[in-house]
């Protein structure tokens, strides 16, 4: 059997791995590349195989860098099932259509600009809303900890990864001739103690392990220090400076985390009256889905939900749905906390809010998640003084806060702790889903602390197992 690394090697987007035996071909994840000038080219050339020959897909979670090319795979001929948790399937019903809608709008804007410049190239989306809708019946929900058999030679179990709602570590047993291998795909692993979701499940054994390394070279700030910084940033901006707080956030996972934390800090008396606007068309649906799967949430979150139901005096939270409502937020000069997608500032409504607030020194931008190389969010974190938004130069005068302790990814210590729970060393360990320096740092730490052999593969590397 052989394993091909199609994406998320040396970078954090485009997660996809192809496993082939003499009897079966399947993918684990089929993610979109994001950030940088090469992302669109990578997405359009991502399939080095005929999609018609793929028997099935195993999907770790709903984030677009893991799921975003599934409608394109289907449009190009893939007709098999996609196995994923029930919560992930529910989220994808919203997220993939939203992804397609954003692409259609971006392409519409680019084509208008193309006509002005007399360019000959006509842009097209990776897939349309219709193609995303046509794909959805291929989703097959599974339950955590239940064994499934997608092919006579393949058995799988999905375990809770503690990253976002429905995220999974996938254990895969593969039979090929006389060879039996257990391959474990960590997916994205959560940080223990993270809000809303439960802690990652311990895995005891693997012959082959693929482990993520998003924060493989660093430690997160403690949650208590993070909360203190969050409280300071909000109070200083809203009370002392009289500005707005703009928070780019992934609609699934980070938005719900932030709402829980803001409610909890208000409940503790650390934050005063707030006007919170969640400006993402699918955020309300994603939040409703989160509450639908209450059995997957941690104790602190269920207690906060109960408090919300029992108290009249609570933060004002408004989910903004229409374009007109979103545009009205551009006229708010002070007192607003605006949470909006995309989380890396490269698409969606967040770009409008940055356009109207970045050049105001009384405002603050709170970066609460990982920013991939090449994204606007990464440039802001790196201290750029000007950015281009919708073709216009915008000065960066607002205060930029990087609230690192809110990450939904395990840091180096969290990753090593998860790995330490294996009862024996895997035969092969591949460090993936991290910028090269981060992945290399984790691989070296694994060698030093666990005495395992760990390597960082390159994109499209083929390994015989």
- Structure pTM? 0.88
pLDDT tens-digit profile of 192-250? 888 888 999 999 999 999 999 999 999 998 888 999 999 999 999 999 999 999 999 98
Residue 121 is classified by DSSP as P
pLDDT tens-digit profile of 415-435? 999 999 999 999 999 999 999
Contact by Cβ (8 Å): 122, 324: no
Contact by Cβ (8 Å): 124, 107: yes
3-state secondary structure 183-242: EEECCCCCCCCCCCECCCCCCCCCCEEEEECCECCCCCCCHHHHHHHHHHHHHHHHHHHC
297-303 mean pLDDT: 84
Looking at the domain that runs over 223-406, which CATH code has it been given?
3.40.50.10890
Q: Which residue spans of the chain are classified as CATH 3.40.50.10890? A: 223-406
How does residue 303 score in pLDDT terms, banded at 50, 70 and 90? confident
pLDDT tens-digit profile of 67-125? 999 999 999 999 999 999 999 999 999 999 989 988 998 888 888 876 665 555 678 99
Cis peptide before 457 (omega within 30 of 0): no
Tokens of 161: 């990864």
What are the b/e assignments for 248-257, b being 16+ CB within 10 Å? Answer: bbbbbbbbbb
Q: Which residue spans of the chain are classified as CATH 3.60.15.10? A: 2-218+408-464
Q: Calculate Rg over the CA atoms of the chain.
A: 22
Given a cut of 90, is residue 284 above it in pLDDT?
no
DSSP 34-74: -SSTTHHHHHHT---S-GGG--EEE-----HHHHTTHHHHH
Residue 80 is classified by DSSP as S
| pLDDT confidence of residue 102 | 84
| pLDDT confidence of residue 24 | 97
| pLDDT confidence of residue 57 | 98
Given a cut of 80, is residue 308 above it in pLDDT?
no
| pLDDT confidence of residue 358 | 96
| pLDDT confidence of residue 144 | 97
| pLDDT confidence of residue 205 | 97
Contact by Cβ (8 Å): 326, 352: yes
3-state DSSP call for residue 374?
coil
Given a cut of 90, is residue 12 above it in pLDDT?
yes
- What's domain 2-218+408-464's superfamily in CATH? Ribonuclease Z/Hydroxyacylglutathione hydrolase-like (3.60.15.10)
pLDDT tens-digit profile of 379-403? 999 999 999 998 899 999 999 999 8
pLDDT tens-digit profile of 207-220? 999 999 999 999 99
Mean pLDDT for all residues in the chain: 93
Given a cut of 80, is residue 312 above it in pLDDT?
no
Run of H or E including 290? helix 283-292
333-353 mean pLDDT: 91
| pLDDT confidence of residue 116 | 60
pLDDT tens-digit profile of 111-170? 887 666 555 567 899 999 999 999 999 999 999 999 999 999 999 999 999 999 999 999
């Amino acid at each position: 059997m052989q394993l091909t690394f199609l994406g998320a090697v040396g970078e954090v987007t485009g997660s996809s791995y192809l496993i082939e035996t003499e009897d079966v071909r399947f993918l684990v994840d089929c993610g979109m590349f994001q950030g940088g000038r090469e992302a669109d080219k990578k997405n359009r050339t991502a399939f080095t195989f005929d999609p018609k020959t793929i028997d099935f897909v195993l999907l770790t979670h709903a984030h677009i860098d893991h799921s975003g090319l599934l409608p394109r795979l289907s449009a190009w001929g893939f007709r098999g099932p996609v196995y994923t948790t029930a919560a992930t399937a529910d989220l994808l019903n919203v997220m993939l259509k939203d992804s397609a809608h954003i692409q259609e709008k971006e392409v519409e804007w680019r084509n208008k600009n193309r006509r002005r410049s007399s360019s000959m190239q006509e842009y097209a989306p990776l897939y349309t809303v219709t193609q995303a809708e046509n794909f959805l019946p291929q989703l097959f929900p599974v339950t955590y900890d239940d064994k499934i058999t997608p092919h006579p030679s393949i058995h799988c179990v999905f375990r809770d990864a503690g990253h976002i709602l429905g995220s999974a570590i996938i254990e895969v047993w593969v039979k090929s001739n006389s060879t039996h291998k257990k391959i474990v795909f960590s997916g994205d692993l959560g940080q223990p103690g993270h809000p809303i979701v439960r802690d990652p499940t311990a895995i005891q054994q693997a012959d082959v392990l693929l482990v993520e390394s998003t924060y493989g070279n660093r430690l997160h700030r403690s949650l208590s220090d993070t909360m203190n910084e969050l409280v300071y940033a909000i109070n200083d901006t809203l009370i002392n400076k009289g500005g707005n707080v703009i928070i780019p956030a992934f609609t699934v996972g980070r938005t719900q985390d932030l709402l829980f934390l803001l409610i909890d800090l208000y409940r503790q008396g650390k934050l005063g009256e707030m006007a919170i606007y969640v400006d993402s068309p699918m955020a309300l649906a994603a939040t409703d889905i989160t509450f639908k799967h209450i059995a997957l949430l941690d104790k602190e979150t269920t207690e906060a939900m109960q408090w919300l139901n029992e108290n009249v005096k609570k933060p004002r939270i408004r989910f903004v749905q229409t374009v007109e409502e979103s545009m009205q937020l551009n006229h708010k000069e002070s007192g607003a906390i605006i949470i909006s997608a995309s989380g890396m500032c490269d698409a969606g409504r967040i770009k409008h809010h940055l356009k109207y607030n970045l050049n105001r020194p009384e405002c603050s931008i709170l970066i609460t998640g990982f920013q991939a190389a090449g994204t606007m969010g990464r440039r802001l974190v790196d201290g750029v003084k000007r950015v281009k938004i919708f073709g216009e130069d915008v000065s960066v005068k607002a205060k930029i806060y990087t609230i690192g302790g809110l990450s939904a990814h395990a840091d180096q210590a969290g990753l090593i702790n998860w790995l330490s729970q294996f009862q024996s060393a895997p035969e092969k360990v591949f460090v993936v889903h991290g910028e090269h320096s981060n992945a290399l740092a984790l691989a070296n730490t694994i060698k030093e602390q666990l005495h395992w052999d760990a390597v960082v593969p390159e994109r499209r590397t083929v390994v015989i197992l």
